[in-house]
């Protein structure tokens, strides 16, 4: 089957009948529900750009499974170029949507399970990898969007999954039947789930020997019996119904349309199970997924930074102060921080390596550095955008006031920028900055792909601190420097002996 266009993707969702609730009511049609439309459009952009030749390098690739031209979002990375082009794709889509386009979590899940299932088979003699390659062909043949489901509710964080008072705080196997398993539990904060075709489920942490029933990874259609999704609230979410200006990004939304996914005794066929009790590989799967996902943030969030920087520049020009040294300096700072994150994301891709499965993975240390930088720099470049935009981003009257026949003329008159400019265009840019720099997107920069502490733990684990200490000891002579001895023709002790007399 050929790759879908954006319109065809939306049409394909009409064939699905997921159980979805939002604002206390059951949603009969995901495609027609007004609150979901911006999320649909953002995800549709991942499809639409893939069918346009000018974005072929970033958005498409030849499948290693069926040899067809496919969307990169359904691909397994098989080279350094794949890793790099993925990051380029993320920045491009950030620029085109100025929001979360939702599809990368499932994409990273596919790659993480592909790599890990191969290693499980090698140790345990299972056939998960064969099953998964068959599933990958199905995904590619149908150009599917997958919601990546890793985060469990967790309950008491001080206890392991098997120690919880309520065992359903982590997704787990509750029964085994011929041809499959039955699972119960929930996954929380899951991006793009209501408008995906399928869900890929992974364990959320390293499991111990008593947690075997929780060491489960599988895929399931979004409308499978027993699956219920409850859509989450977001800052200013009802503004999506308030017109074209006040939402700030009426076309593509705020963030990723997260939902709680409940699995109420859901039967999973064996051919869709890719880990079942192999607790010794749960840590690898989590870390592999996290590395892929954290590396993305130097792409997608930098794409958003490009948009917010452009909006901030627009405001300086509209206010007639674009030549101000202070504001030019702020804009330069915004660019510098964004490009720093971009450079690190590229570096972790160029420093990638081949795994036993033949697929490539990123440099895990640099991937965590990327994400840790994003948890800081995204807040800072948004703060600078707020500084440049001024107080108007939180005091501007509503779009309805502007369109009111009695008072609209005052809004138009007193909120205009320099002579000859459009008030309504100014309002559009102000609301965009408000949406991006004050709205719901910033917490996603903090907590998406794990909070800062998760990155710091991985950085400490991967940084080889003892080696760094050894470098310092070698420089000052606590440990011998064989290269220095070759340079000067004598040992350090002999070279410095004259100072010791």
Asked whether residue 73 is domain-assigned, the answer is no
Is the same domain home to 299 and 367? yes
The number of distinct structural domains making up the chain is 2
Asked if residues 101 and 45 have their Cβ atoms less than 8 Å apart, the reply is yes
Is the same domain home to 363 and 488? no
Asked if residues 184 and 172 have their Cβ atoms less than 8 Å apart, the reply is yes
Asked whether residue 227 is domain-assigned, the answer is no
Asked whether residue 445 is domain-assigned, the answer is yes
Q: How far is CA 341 from the centre of its chain?
A: 14
Residue 380, by phi and psi: left (phi above 0), alpha (psi -120 to 50) or beta?
A: alpha
One digit per residue, the tens of pLDDT, for the chain of length 501 reads 689 999 999 999 999 999 999 999 999 999 999 999 999 999 999 999 999 999 999 999 999 888 999 999 999 999 999 999 999 999 999 999 999 999 999 999 999 999 999 999 999 999 999 999 999 999 999 999 999 999 999 999 999 999 999 999 999 999 999 999 999 999 999 999 999 999 999 999 999 999 999 999 999 999 999 999 999 998 888 888 888 999 999 999 878 889 999 999 999 999 999 999 999 999 999 999 999 999 999 999 999 999 999 999 999 999 999 999 999 999 999 999 999 999 999 999 999 999 999 999 999 999 999 999 999 999 999 999 999 999 999 999 999 999 999 999 999 999 999 999 999 999 999 999 999 998 767 888 888 888 898 899 999 999 999 999 999 999 999 999 999 999 999 988 889 888 876
Is the same domain home to 310 and 423? yes
Helix (H) / strand (E) containing 146: strand 146-149
Is the same domain home to 408 and 492? no
Is the same domain home to 375 and 351? yes
- Torsion sign across C-alpha atoms 277, 280, 283, 285: negative
Asked whether residue 382 is domain-assigned, the answer is yes
Query: Is the whole model's pTM more than 0.75, yes or no?
Result: yes
Is the same domain home to 477 and 328? no
Asked whether residue 407 is domain-assigned, the answer is yes
Is the same domain home to 336 and 482? no
Query: What pLDDT was estimated at residue 354?
Result: 98
- How many residues are there in the chain? 501
Asked whether residue 487 is domain-assigned, the answer is yes
Is the same domain home to 330 and 451? yes
Among residues 186, 168, 170, which one has the least CA distance to residue 282? 170
Tokens of 417: 């920028």
Asked whether residue 351 is domain-assigned, the answer is yes
Query: What pLDDT was estimated at residue 474?
Result: 94
Residues 6+ apart with CB under 8 A from 13: 30, 31, 40, 195, 197
Is the same domain home to 300 and 344? yes
- The 10 Å Cβ neighbour count of residue 448 is 25
Tokens of 265: 């005794």
Among residues 201, 252, 253, which one has the least CA distance to residue 222? 201
Is the same domain home to 379 and 312? yes
Query: What pLDDT was estimated at residue 2?
Result: 80
Is the same domain home to 396 and 458? yes
CATH number, residue 316: 1.20.140.10
Asked whether residue 375 is domain-assigned, the answer is yes
Tokens of 357: 């499965």
Query: What pLDDT was estimated at residue 501?
Result: 65
Query: What pLDDT was estimated at residue 17?
Result: 98
Is the same domain home to 301 and 446? yes
Query: What pLDDT was estimated at residue 255?
Result: 80
Range of the domain at 349: 286-462
Write out the catalytic residue numbers: 100, 104, 191, 258, 293, 297, 300, 444
């Amino acid at each position: 089957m050929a790759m879908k266009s954006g319109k065809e993707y939306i049409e394909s969702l009409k064939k699905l009948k997921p159980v979805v609730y939002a604002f206390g009511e059951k949603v009969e049609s995901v495609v027609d529900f007004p609150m979901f439309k911006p999320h649909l459009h953002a995800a549709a952009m991942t499809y639409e750009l893939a069918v346009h030749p000018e974005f072929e390098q970033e958005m498409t690739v030849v499948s290693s499974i069926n040899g067809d031209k496919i969307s990169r979002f359904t691909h397994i990375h098989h080279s350094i170029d794949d890793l790099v082009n993925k990051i380029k794709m993320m920045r491009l889509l950030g620029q085109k949507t100025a929001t979360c386009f939702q599809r990368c979590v499932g994409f990273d899940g596919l790659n993480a399970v592909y790599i890990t299932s191969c290693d499980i088979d090698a140790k345990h003699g299972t056939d998960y990898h064969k099953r998964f390659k068959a599933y990958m062909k199905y995904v590619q043949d149908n150009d599917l969007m997958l919601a990546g489901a890793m985060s469990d509710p967790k309950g008491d964080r001080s206890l392991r999954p098997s120690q919880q008072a309520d065992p359903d705080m982590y997704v787990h196997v509750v029964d085994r039947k011929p041809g499959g398993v039955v699972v119960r539990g929930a996954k929380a904060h899951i991006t793009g789930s209501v408008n995906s075709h399928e869900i890929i489920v992974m364990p959320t942490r390293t499991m111990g020997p008593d947690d075997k029933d929780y060491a489960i990874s599988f895929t399931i259609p979004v409308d499978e019996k027993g699956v219920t999704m409850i859509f989450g609230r977001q800052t200013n979410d009802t503004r999506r119904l308030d017109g074209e200006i006040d939402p700030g990004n009426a076309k593509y939304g705020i963030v990723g349309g997260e939902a709680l996914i409940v699995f109420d005794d859901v039967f999973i066929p064996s051919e869709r199970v890719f880990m079942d009790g192999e607790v010794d590989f749960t840590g690898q799967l989590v870390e592999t997924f996290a590395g892929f996902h954290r590396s993305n943030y130097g792409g997608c969030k930098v794409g958003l930074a490009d948009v917010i920087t452009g909006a901030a520049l627009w405001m300086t020009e509209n206010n007639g102060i674009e030549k101000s040294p202070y504001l030019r300096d702020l804009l330069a700072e915004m660019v510098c921080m964004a490009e720093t994150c971009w450079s690190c994301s590229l570096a972790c891709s160029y420093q990638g390596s081949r795994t036993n499965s033949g697929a490539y993975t990123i440099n895990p240390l640099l991937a965590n550095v990327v994400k840790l930088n994003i948890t800081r720099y995204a807040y800072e470049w948004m703060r600078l955008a707020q500084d440049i935009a001024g107080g108007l981003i939180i005091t501007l009257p509503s779009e309805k006031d502007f369109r009111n026949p009695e008072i609209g003329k005052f809004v138009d008159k007193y909120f205009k920028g320099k002579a000859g400019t459009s008030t309504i265009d100014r309002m559009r840019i102000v609301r965009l900055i408000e949406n991006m720099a004050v709205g719901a997107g910033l917490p996603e920069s903090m907590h998406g792909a794990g909070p800062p502490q998760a990155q710091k733990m991985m950085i400490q684990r991967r940084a080889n601190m003892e080696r760094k200490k050894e470098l310092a000891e070698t420089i000052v002579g606590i440990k011998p420097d064989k290269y220095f001895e070759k340079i000067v023709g004598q040992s350090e002790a002999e070279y410095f002996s004259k100072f010791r007399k």
